[in-house]
Each structure stands twice: as structure tokens, then as C-alpha cells.
Structure 1
């Protein structure tokens, strides 16, 4: 401890204490000034905006997000390969078609009334496939995939447009006979008839699915 010998020794200590008090006072004044400024700005904002009320939040229910179903890519590739191999162009369908003017088709056990209803448009058309411009293999694959997808989606009545052959060599309907052959080989197909004139006529088939 420093020993004080005279009053002169106290003067430096007094000056130091005074300087500390002044520094503490300045800090306090600066804090008070900042608080007053913040209060003024808050009051100015309240005067500018006016009285406010907190928003009312309606009760919310948080739903768990469902993950998308995995895509069976390999199964689709396998099915596509099977389609190309399974649908034959050589099958004789003359004995399978009804001998009416449109050569309609119905599975064994189905009554003629089913064909009549299909021809009259009893079932609403739910999807269609247009095969115009496709070569034989591409059309066969597209048709097989379309029937599979439609049956998987639960569709009952679809239309297949094969064309009238006006753009084919010799103006012969190349796909017309083949489409009928391919359809009778699909177990999902219960019946088909030539479409009405308003639905494509001789260039399309109305198909009833299981």
C-alpha cells in the first residue's frame, strides 16, 4: 500500500478519481440518450401507423407429406419387351370376330347386348390412342402399353384410332387389321366395335376393358 506523505501526494489520485467519474458519467449519459432516441422512434412509429392488433392465427393441422410411390422402371421395361414378343401379327382372328358389318369382337360369355351398348356409346369415352404415322412395331408397342395403362387406371371405355389408310401406299388401311389382331390377344379387352361416324367411323375402334 502506497504511504501518503503530504496533501500534494493526494492530488494525482484525486485527478484520476475525477476522470473516472467523468468517464462513467459520459457512458451513463450516452446510454440514456440512446434509450431516449429509441423511445422517440418507437413513439413516432406508433403515431405514423396507429394502433395495431396482433394477427389471429386459426388453428392449423400439420399433415404428413406422402412420399411419391416408387416408379417400377425395370418392370415397365420388362412389360415393354413382353409386349413386342406377345402380340402376334400371324394370329387368325376370323373365327373370333362377329360377322356383322363392322367385324366387332366380344369375349366368350359376353352377350350381344354388350356390343350394342358399346356401339351406342353407353360407356363414356375415358381415353384415346392415335396411331397415325406409327410404323408397325411402334404402333404395336404403343397399343399394348396404352391398354395396360388404361386397365391399371381403372378405365372402362377407350378409343383406338388406327386410321382409314388414306395416307398409306395403295390407300390400304395397314394398321386396321393388325390393331384388331393385337386387341383380341389382350386379356384386358372384353369387346370392341367400330366407332360411330362422329367418333371416327371406320378409322377407329371403341374398346371395352375389364
Structure 2
């Protein structure tokens, strides 16, 4: 699809763009562009244009301290994984994917690994954009691992050692499968 096929913006796109444009800092010697004045919307128009209440993407958990006992991998285990004394039996690379693509891939990977009795896996999220901000998946994946669908699979997780990806990867310890 070419860019020219999307010349017109919807009203929602215009509002979103104006919010983004106002939050940006202009280059040295330049001013903020003036936005064209739009007539204010009536209350009925605002309610008619409101998006549906159901979220379209997986939930992003708020940032939590890494020191929570339920999520943190114990230090001896982390050190053994980093040194290669404990095997990493599986790995999944999520970087470059959107949240909508990464969430089901991560869930299915962890579900299969858990069913096969695998204990330790490496989840590669990537470090994020080169403009200094944290990556979306780097922030979101630890939150996902703490949610109900993953709690039955994941025992604990922590950031990987530098030789395994550092801040752009996570060690994940899976729960032992239930005895049959």
C-alpha cells in the first residue's frame, strides 16, 4: 500500500496529531506550527465519536519494582544461568514485533515449553528505540508475565546477563509440570 492512498486524515487522527505535535520540542530557531482553528465539538458529537470500550491490544501492566519476591529470580540461579552452569533450554526472539504479535507468540512458546518440562528459557525483547527510550516490549513483557494467564506457567523472571542480551532479554523460570 502506498502512502498516497491515505491522504485524508480522520478527525481522531487530527486530534491525536495535534497532541503529539504540541508535545514535541521544535528544532533550534523554529517555532511550533500553528494549528488551524477547529470549531468545538458538541457533547453529542464527542459521545458519537467515542471509541468502543473494549481494548484492542493486550494489557500493559504498570511498571513494578523488580524486587518483588514473586517475580525475581534468586541470585544463585541467576548467576548459574549467566555463567552457563544451568542450561537455557529454549529461547524466543520478540524484538521487532508489535505487542499484538508478541503476546500470543510468547504465551504459546511458554505454554509449549512448560508442557515439555523445560525449566529455563530466554525471552529476547530487544532494548528499544535508539532515541533513548525504553522499548515497548522491554516494559510490557515483565508485566505480562505477572498476569493471570502466565502465572500458571511462570515461576519467576529477571533481566538476563550481558552475554545473553542484558536489559534486552529476560531469564524465565517455568513452573514444574503438575504430576500426572
TM range (shorter): 0.5 to 0.7
Q: Tell me what 2:138 maps to.
A: 176
Q: Specify which of 90, 100, 112 is matched with residue 149 of structure 1.
A: 112
Assess if the C-alpha contact under 8 Å between 2:160 and 2:170 holds in 1.
yes
Following TM superposition, by how much is the alpha carbon of 1:147 offset from its aligned partner in structure 2, in angstroms?
0.7
User: TM-score normalised to the size of structure 2?
Assistant: 0.55
Residues 183 and 119 (structure 1), Cα distance of their counterparts in 2 relative to 1, 3 Å cut: farther
Instruction: Give per-residue Cα distances to partners, 1:140-186, cap 9 Å, x unaligned.
Output: 1111111101101111111111001136x765311101011111221
Assess if the C-alpha contact under 8 Å between 1:106 and 1:190 holds in 2.
no
SS at match of 1:166: coil
Q: Tell me what 2:64 maps to.
A: 94
Instruction: Find the structure with the greater CA-based Rg.
Output: 1
Q: Is 1:205 matched with 2:167?
A: no
Following TM superposition, by how much is the alpha carbon of 1:135 offset from its aligned partner in structure 2, in angstroms?
0.9
User: TM-score normalised to the size of structure 1?
Assistant: 0.47
Give the distance between the partners of 1:197 and 1:112, measured in 2 at CA: 15
Alignment of 1:1-210 (within 5 A): 88-89=59-60, 91-92=61-62, 94-95=64-65, 97-98=66-67, 105-106=71-72, 112-166=75-129, 171-185=133-147, 186-187=150-151, 188-210=153-175
SS at match of 2:172: strand
Q: How many residues align?
A: 118
Q: Which runs of 5+ in 1 are unaligned?
A: 1-83
Assess if the C-alpha contact under 8 Å between 2:82 and 2:163 holds in 1.
no
CA RMSD of aligned residues (A): 3.2
Following TM superposition, by how much is the alpha carbon of 1:92 offset from its aligned partner in structure 2, in angstroms?
3.7
Give the distance between the partners of 2:127 and 2:159, measured in 1 at CA: 12
Following TM superposition, by how much is the alpha carbon of 1:119 offset from its aligned partner in structure 2, in angstroms?
4.4
Q: Tell me what 1:74 maps to.
A: none
- Greater share of residues in helix: 1
SS at match of 2:118: coil
Higher RCO, 1 or 2 (CA under 8 Å, sep at least 6)?
2
